[in-house]
Amino acid sequence: MSLTEDQSPAISTGDGPLVPPALRANPLRDARDRRLPRVPEPCALVVFGVTGDLARKKLLPAIYDLANRGLLPADFVLLGFARRDWEDEDFESLAKKAAKEHARTNWNEEVWARLADDIKFVPGSFDDDEAFDTLSSTLDELRNSHGIKGNAAFYLSIPPSMFPVVLKQMERTKMADNTASGGWRRVVVEKPFGHDLASAKELNALVDDVFTAEDVFRIDHYLGKETVQNLMALRFANQLFEPVWNSNYVDSVQITMAEDVGIGGRAGFYDVTGAARDVLQNHLLQLLALTAMEEPVEFTAEAIRTEKLKVLRAIRLPADPGAYAIRGQYQQGWLAGERVPAYRDEKDVPADSKTESYAAVRLGIDTRRWAGVPFYLRTGKRLPRRVTEIAVLFKKAPHLPFSHTDTEELGHNQLVIRVQPDEGVTLKFGSKVPGSMMEVRDVAMDFLYGEAFTESSPEAYERLILDVMLGDATLFPRNEEVESSWRVIDPLEEFWAGQEPEPYRAGEWGPKAADDMLARDGRSWRRP
């Protein structure tokens, strides 16, 4: 008879007493436990600005999805704070509507009924002392009535200009104080983290003064995407790629985040921010850091941050920014069969706006691994399609024994990590075309998450909110990373100040100057 892990007999560990199976190290059980999803301690999630688009389209649906997957603690409270004259029932109705419209998992009325009993609302404005006193006392009451033990995470789903007001209120009421609360208190800060290095330092100093540094979670939702995390697995769990992941074999790296939409109703934010501050400073530089980092000594938040920070500090700006740092602004054009307006014709955008809706730059990394390898980063709105990808282009073979006509359609070997929308990995390499001739052309091998795994990937906010409640900061940039990123962006913004952005027609892949930038190096942009 074979023994299962629970049937194995007690054994002696030497001179000591017999050790029962439940207390003994067991590889089968240990491996199983590592695969089990972690569930946070009882806690509250307080969402400031809960009536905004981010909360309705991302945060509230993510909370429902976590509940539906059984990943919320049994004792959990969702507490909304906004300038509305609402009762708990009014907020519950809004939350249900938002979750039903945008949740990724199937709707389950029983799951919602259980969650609805733990949804509360506190009305008030951010400068209202009385409202924050009420919020503080409500959390104290929930410690006993809902068993949250003083644990609470605060999500600042509000404009960055309001961060100081809210943080000072939390400091005044001691809501951010772990000792006073009797549990843990954490804060989630949405990007952008300031608008330049000076403001980022000021914000970091404020938030780290109110909360302890370990309790500050600066959220970049791109780092919660499954494919971004898979980049580390691809590199460090496989022997196949790491030996060629360096300047000996890599010709260049292209990181693209393209959007087919315009600015929508975000003119007030976007026109003072632009593509470089909105996307390049955070999303793309984080993707660059993950692509170029050395292997961490362990898979922990501190070890990963250490390696990413080394990359960010080693970034070299182009010596000739006029040729290798390009800004663009979309003009009227056609997308998906519809005519779309120019950027300056969008609602609330000034007619003489010089804000860029497109940015592209060539960066270098001054490390032994990447010396001489250009990293091309680009982002833009009103481009032909929505796609985010990291493309590693390898050098061509130093010698081909075939004739030129046999290989004229052969390009660079490529490893492409698609972050969105079709998450997966593509490997492009040369293969012989069937037939009597020796003709070689590019072929692709595709890995798609949706086809390889039966379980769907969690939405980025779902994963990141869970990590906040667990206290796992692995996927959250620290203040040193934020400040190092601004040291890359600030000189570019200074160079671009007052310049007219290059025009490009909506539906095209950016301005001609961006194509010229790569052509100058004998390269061209990859078409996603």
How many C-beta atoms surround the C-beta of residue 409 within 10 A?
12
Helix, strand or coil, per DSSP, at residue 282:
helix
Q: Which of 146, 195, 283, 412 is catalytic?
A: 283
For residue 339, the cross-strand partners are 334
- Residues 94, 55: contact at Cβ < 8 Å? no
**Contact predicate 307/300, CB 8 Å:** no
Within a 13 Å sphere around the CA of 252, how many CA atoms are in the beta-carbon half? Answer: 16
CA 311 from centre of chain: 18
DSSP-derived pairing of the beta strands 424-432 and 440-448: antiparallel
241's tokens: 């790629």
How many Å apart are CA 441 and CA 432, to the nearest integer?
Answer: 6
Strand pairing partners for 390? Answer: 255, 417
Give dist(CA 118, CA 131) in Å, integer.
Answer: 20
As a whole number of angstroms, the distance between CA 413 and CA 418 comes to 16
Side chain identity, residue 388: T
How far is 269 from 54, CA to CA, in rounded Å? 14
Q: Rounded distance, CA 7 to CA 10, Å?
A: 9
Question: Do the Cβ atoms of 50 and 62 come closer than 8 Å?
Answer: no
**Cβ–Cβ under 8 Å, residues 215 and 221:** no
Runs of H (alpha helix) within 146-196: 163-173, 178-181
Q: Can 195 be counted among the known catalytic residues?
A: no
3-state secondary structure of 117: coil
Active site residues: 283
